[in-house]
Structure 1
Amino acid sequence: MTAEHEHIPPWYKQFWPWFLIGLLGSSVAFSLVYLTLSIRYFDGTVAQDYYKEGLAINERIAKQEQASALGLAATLRADPATGDIVVDLNGEPYPEQLVLKLIFPTESARDRTLTLEHVRAGRYVTMLEEPLRYRWYLHLQPEEGPEAAWRLTGEARFPTEDEIALLPGI
């Protein structure tokens, strides 16, 4: 009886080694792509004292209850051509300035703080270098920072010619 000697091709001519190398190579390639995307579109870290920030919600609620007790409300108009922002404040008192915080929902680097000057009974005005675009959360306060007595909030998508209501609320 003669034993037939089976011919085995070298490893680089077989399917399975290349399949396994392909799996490993694709996982390395996808990892590098995701690493690049996560570095390029970094969305910030969780606050170090998140517990204190969570407790600050009571202060925000108190500010908005104060605005409601004072009967405050405002309307905001933004001129899409010139970038002028006009706020009409309903209710008393009328501070000399108002602070409008424009908060971009996804990128904190785009957040802006504007100071509006009082021009006459309840009307406040400021100008922007360029008109606003996209969606923003709006916070209107009599002064900047956590020591403000009241706050009105709203949400808007710019450009718009409509009036935006700023009301007491979270």
Structure 2
Amino acid sequence: MTQDPHSLPPWYKQFWPWFLLGILLSSVAVSTTFLVLSIKSYDGMVEDNYYKQGLAINQVIEQDRRAAELGLSAELLIDDLTGDITVELDGERRPERLLLALVFPTRGDRDLNLTLEHVRDGHYTGQAPSRLEYRWYLRLQPIQEEPEWRLNGEASFPQDAPIILTPGETNEG
């Protein structure tokens, strides 16, 4: 019982070649989709030079320790409507200008560095460029090449209550 070779349908009318081609084409489509998504949604979380960051940790610890020695703390208030920033700095050191770094936990491209000007007796003011939302790490330090001290905090915006910045580490390092 042999089949007549002329009675077999051509390959393109059979099920298995199309099934195998379908698997191959679907895997190409899925992998291309993932490639495009991974290129377009770069998260910026990978640090290129961990060695350099490791060496800088001693400087960061020293800045936190120095802020505690000076008895520094700050109360920060950001007006949700106008973006006005007010800081009241308590302690011995009161530079003319401060740097307020707002660090977004997951996307480095959203980080902000704002300059605050000294108004009077430990009061500083500045302006946020846009309305803040979500959770942020906050770092306050004098504007210098190598700052002597720093204060840290964490806040979720919008927030009506003042934010207290103290010496010590936050999760952003």
TM-score normalised by L of structure 1:
0.89
Aligned to 2:104: 104
Aligned to 2:158: 159
The Cα offsets for residues 92-125 of structure 1, whole Å up to 9 and x where unpaired, read as 1211111101111222122111110111111111
Q: Describe how 1:52-67 pairs up with structure 2 within 5 A.
A: 52-67=52-67
- Larger mean Cα displacement after TM superposition, 136-145 or 53-62: 136-145
In structure 2, list runs of 5 or more residues that go unmatched. Answer: none
Aligned to 1:148: 147
> C-alpha distance in 2, partners of 1:105/1:33?
27
Q: Describe how 1:115-134 pairs up with structure 2 within 5 A.
A: 115-134=115-134
> C-alpha distance in 2, partners of 1:162/1:22?
59
- Larger mean Cα displacement after TM superposition, 15-24 or 77-86: 15-24
Q: How much does 1:46 deviate? A: 4.1
In structure 1, list runs of 5 or more residues that go unmatched. Answer: none
Q: Describe how 1:29-48 pairs up with structure 2 within 5 A.
A: 29-44=29-44, 46-48=46-48
Q: How much does 1:76 deviate? A: 0.9
- Larger mean Cα displacement after TM superposition, 40-49 or 9-18: 40-49
> C-alpha distance in 2, partners of 1:14/1:75?
75
> C-alpha distance in 2, partners of 1:155/1:8?
73
RMSD in angstroms over aligned alpha carbons? 1.7
Q: Describe how 1:20-35 pairs up with structure 2 within 5 A.
A: 20-35=20-35
How many residues are matched?
167
Letter in 1 for 2:148: A
Aligned to 1:17: 17
> C-alpha distance in 2, partners of 1:23/1:165?
58
TM-score normalised by L of structure 2:
0.88
Aligned to 1:5: 3
The Cα offsets for residues 1-53 of structure 1, whole Å up to 9 and x where unpaired, read as xx352643322232222221111111111111111111111123744432121
